[in-house]
Structure formats: C-alpha cells, structure tokens
Chains A and B, each alone.
Chain A
C-alpha cells in the first residue's frame, strides 16, 4: 500500500488528511490521474508530489510502503 497525505487547501478539498491506496508499481503520474478523478477540484491545485519527503517526477515509480504527499503551492515565510 501507499500512504497518502494531503495538506492545506488540498486537505480541505478532499476532506481527508490521509488515506491508503494500492498503487505500488504505478507511476506518480498514474497517482495524479487517480487523484484528479477522485477529487475533481484537484486540477486547479497546481500541486507537486513528494515521495518519501522528496519532490518526485511524474515518471517515478511507487513502491509498497512509500509515503506520498500532495504539496499545494507553498507559502511559508
């Protein structure tokens, strides 16, 4: 399983902060596709994806136990 985290505005759009999906072996782009189908509001988010606390590429392949975070545009400082 893959552990998903949602933050800030994305968490409010999805209504969940965490969930698990069975997408080992699929790519970050596949996950993105899945998320935008499940949560239509995602499209406007312009979010990045982090895998195991590092920004990931769309072609990166997910492995069992990965922790994935959807990172909306950041606004620290």
Chain B
C-alpha cells in the first residue's frame, strides 16, 4: 500500500489504521465512507467512481501534508476506491493518528472535507431509471484553497 492512494479493489481499512499507528499515538481515528442506497428519496443501484489518478494521489498527499502541518504530531493515510461500487462498499478510508483524541477527530473530518474540494475524483450515481455525474457538492469554483 501507499499512504495516499487510489485503488480499484475492495478497501481493507485496517491496513491504513496500522500504517498510522506509532508508539507516540494515543488515538487513531478511522473514517470509512460507504455507498449509500437512498439519497433524498432516490434509490441508488450502484456507484461508479472515476479519478484523474496521478493528480488525485498528489492531492491526497497534499491533504496529508496540510494536516501534519496544522496539527502537530499527526500521521495520515488516505485511500479512495474507483470503479463500480455496490451498496455499503467502502469508497474512502481516512486514518489519522495523534497523541490525543481531539486532534485525531478534527484532522480526520478536515480530510474528508478537503477531499470533496480539491481531489479530482468523480461519482456517478446509477438509479433504476437513469444515471448522473454528481458534482458541486461544496460549491467551490476556484482552484486552490489555502
């Protein structure tokens, strides 16, 4: 595995938790994002994710660097899966370790928010009667946020 990667196979979250665990860590937060069946009353059959893989991995690594600068003593690993995913499959995993729990929670949430802003990954929802690329989840038209 790599600390920041786009994968095409099922995600095993434990390997990312193990990767960030260190003797100085008193907390590890492990977030897994899953394929949800119902969104605003519409039933999703499955999702199809696409990524600009080399740039997406760079941007995931950038998020890791942002976190390690902002919260001293943290270590981060992030993976996002692409391809066709079924209901309840893991789409994304974020593991953060830190000396204390508060930081691990905050940094983990920061990571998912940043993924939705800057990482070139796209989700297509496939319904019983149609499909659509999803975008504009955060309404951030400009390039880099600082």
Q: Hey, which bits of chain A sit against chain B, CB under 8 A?
A: 5, 7-9, 12, 46, 48, 50, 53-57, 69, 71-77
Contacts and interface: CB of A to CB of B under 8 A. Distances in A.
Given A7-B52, A74-B116, 17 more contacts: A46-B136, A50-B55, A55-B144, A69-B55, A71-B52, A72-B135, A74-B117, A74-B119, A75-B121, A75-B136, A76-B56, A76-B91, A76-B92, A76-B116, A76-B119, A77-B112, A77-B115
Given A8-B133, A46-B141, A76 B123 contact: yes
In terms of DSSP, what is the predominant structure of the interface of chain B?
A: mixed
Query: Which one of B54, B112, B122, B144 has the greatest number of beta carbons of chain A within 10 Å?
Result: B122
Contacts, number: 84
Give the contact-size bracket for chain B. Answer: 20 to 34
Interface string B15-41: 000000000000000000100000000
A75 B52 contact: no
23 contacts: A7-B52, A8-B133, A9-B122, A12-B133, A50-B55, A53-B55, A54-B55, A55-B118, A55-B143, A69-B55, A71-B52, A73-B136, A73-B137, A74-B120, A74-B137, A75-B123, A75-B135, A75-B136, A76-B49, A76-B51, A76-B80, A77-B91, A77-B112
